[in-house]
Structure 1
Amino acid sequence: MITLPPSRQRLITGFALAGILLVAVLLGGWFLHVLVLGAVLLGLWEFYCLFWPGNSQLVQKCLGFILAGGFVLSTSLTPEWPILFVSLALCASALMFLARFGSHHPETRITDYTVLPFGLLYIALPLSLALHMHPAEQIFVVLVSTATDCGGYYAGMLFGRHKMWPSVSPKKTWQGAAGGMVASIAVCLVAGHLASRNASLGLPVMSFWLWLTMGILLNAAAQLGDFFESALKRSLNVKDSGTILPGHGGVLDRIDSLLFLLPLYFVFRALYTAVALLSAPLPTPGA
């Protein structure tokens, strides 16, 4: 049996995932919904298993799966449907806490029952934002996330000397973070150049400085998402969220940066659109 080095495994897995994503984005519709749903359910399973290993809390896991599936599949409907599934998750957790506390278990704490709804808010909600984006934007945010990850990984491996936040992520260095930042900015500047040459591409047409700012902010969000998941795993004494992706660990290890990057991109795009509309000249009366 041939064993590939971790860096080679990482590259092969990354290209395979990129190919699957590209096909789903090009096909769109339910193909993309199925891809997002698969990522949500796999990530959610790993997240729940961090807190509830094996078959423990199987009822809560299954309930979380059902609600997360309903959340993702209902995003193409009216906005009330996704909100309904989050509300149901919160109510279910509250009722389970109430039942346990009321059964003569005064040591029960509400924090023991927040894992179920937090999984939906942490994983299902941000990934579902991708379903409301133009295909070019979907590819763009994944490229920024991948560039941050690969740039940080290889820059840290080649030049890493000074630890960045060892209490959270012992292997991450300032040199690696700088490599991820440069890669993220490069992707954003290339995207900005393409958008300026083709306004119908689906990406916002912004100035060089705004694309540069976006590259810095999205990189910061991606790295914070990675740090959060690292802190989560270290608090539970777990090395990886799973083993399904060779060279990457689990699905949650691969998408952790996207979970922070996607909401920030939405905020940045919404603010830019709002400012552009407000600064647009008013139509001349009678024109």
Structure 2
Amino acid sequence: MDIASHQKRLITGVVLAAFVFLAMLFQGWVLFTVLALFCAFTLWEFYDLFRDHQGIKTIKSLGTAFTFLLLGAFTNGDLMYPAVITIFAFWISAFIFLFRYSADMTASFVQAMIFLTGLIYIPVNFHFFLKFNRWECVLVIAAAALSDTAAFYAGTMWGDKKIWPKISPKKSWVGSLAGFGACVVGTTAYGLAFGDAPFWQWLLLGAALNIAAQMGDFFESALKRSLAVKDSGHFLPGHGGFLDRVDSLLLVVPTYGLLNSVHPFFP
């Protein structure tokens, strides 16, 4: 990677980190607003991957509205509210399909599946941020960032043997192992300093979060390749789109949320 691209990537990362830091510092409505806007932009990019499908403009508008509804429902603390919103989203998409099919017998239910998948993939996965404390927010973001950064630079410099070329031609075994090591070491060091769990549990958590990060990255790569798309967007210089930047985080967040519900890692 040339120096100019590296500088763009670094500056964009610093700006994003500043926004995240401010959101975590103030939390409350500030965190909700930043998270909701970020989810809306990311979801818009996800739907735009399917731009060749009929009705995507309607899906984009509906998805943005339901992002705010879903995240607002999750702030209540009762899972009944987001469940109702999700069911409502299903029936909205089902009725749109119903009326389109009555007008055109070739109409497909695929649009409804894209709509619902996007809601689960982005706002539902990211809603855990509203439940995490500051230490946990830093942990999951750092785990994803360490995984991506170490894998990127190690793979760029020494990655000759590719790990899954049919899915992601640039990702290498060296990069994968570097990301794994960085995530495990970083998670363990951070956890021992600020958390409340024994050494071996932090090691296992770091391993689980890195595997989640890599699989999240591979999933988005496969999705883009299947749709013949290189980047999800061009809004973030050096990174592509919002979805390109958080593809690994989208699986790290719910993975930590699940493991933390079984065994809390912070007091």
Please tell me the TM-score bracket, short chain as reference. over 0.9
Aligned to 2:200: 209
For the 8 Å contact 2:143–2:187, the answer to whether it is kept is yes
1:43 and 1:54 mapped to 2: Cα distance? 18
Aligned to 1:97: 97
Give deviations 1:235-278, integer Å, cap 9, x for gaps: 0000000011111100001111111111111121122249xxxx
Give deviations 1:158-201, integer Å, cap 9, x for gaps: 11010111111110001010111111012111112213xxxxxx
1:233 and 1:104 mapped to 2: Cα distance? 29
Q: How many residues align?
A: 263
Task: Tell me the amino acid that sits aligned with residue 184 of structure 1.
Answer: C
1:96 and 1:255 mapped to 2: Cα distance? 30
TM-score (norm 2): 0.93
After superposition, the Cα gap between the structure-2 partners of 1:104 and 1:19, relative to the gap in structure 1 and judged at 3 Å, is closer
For the 8 Å contact 1:68–1:85, the answer to whether it is kept is no
**Which SS does the other structure have where 1:81 is aligned?**
helix
The question of 1:244 aligning with 2:243 is answered: no
Task: Tell me the amino acid that sits aligned with residue 213 of structure 2.
Answer: A
Aligned to 2:109: 110
Aligned to 1:31: 30
2:65 and 2:171 mapped to 1: Cα distance? 36
1:40 and 1:48 mapped to 2: Cα distance? 12
1:54 and 1:113 mapped to 2: Cα distance? 11
1:53 and 1:98 mapped to 2: Cα distance? 20
Q: How does 1:1-287 map to 2 (within 5 A)?
A: 5-52=4-51, 57-77=56-76, 78-105=78-105, 107-195=106-194, 203=195, 205-273=196-264
Which ranges of structure 1 fall in alignment gaps of 5 or more residues?
A: 196-202, 275-287
- Larger CA deviation: 261-270 vs 3-12: 3-12
Indicate the structure (1 or 2) with the bigger Cα radius of gyration: 1
For the 8 Å contact 2:59–2:111, the answer to whether it is kept is no
C-alpha deviation, 1:60, in angstroms: 2.0
Give deviations 1:78-108, integer Å, cap 9, x for gaps: 3322222211211111111211222241x33
C-alpha deviation, 1:67, in angstroms: 1.0
C-alpha deviation, 1:4, in angstroms: 5.7
After superposition, the Cα gap between the structure-2 partners of 1:266 and 1:183, relative to the gap in structure 1 and judged at 3 Å, is same
**Which SS does the other structure have where 2:170 is aligned?**
strand
2:104 and 2:181 mapped to 1: Cα distance? 57
Task: Tell me the amino acid that sits aligned with residue 206 of structure 2.
Answer: G
Give deviations 1:35-84, integer Å, cap 9, x for gaps: 11111001011011110269963222111111111111232113322222
After superposition, the Cα gap between the structure-2 partners of 1:5 and 1:55, relative to the gap in structure 1 and judged at 3 Å, is farther
After superposition, the Cα gap between the structure-2 partners of 1:26 and 1:55, relative to the gap in structure 1 and judged at 3 Å, is farther
Identity across matched positions, percent: 36
1:144 and 1:124 mapped to 2: Cα distance? 20
C-alpha deviation, 1:221, in angstroms: 0.2
Task: Tell me the amino acid that sits aligned with residue 183 of structure 1.
Answer: A
CA RMSD of aligned residues (A): 1.9
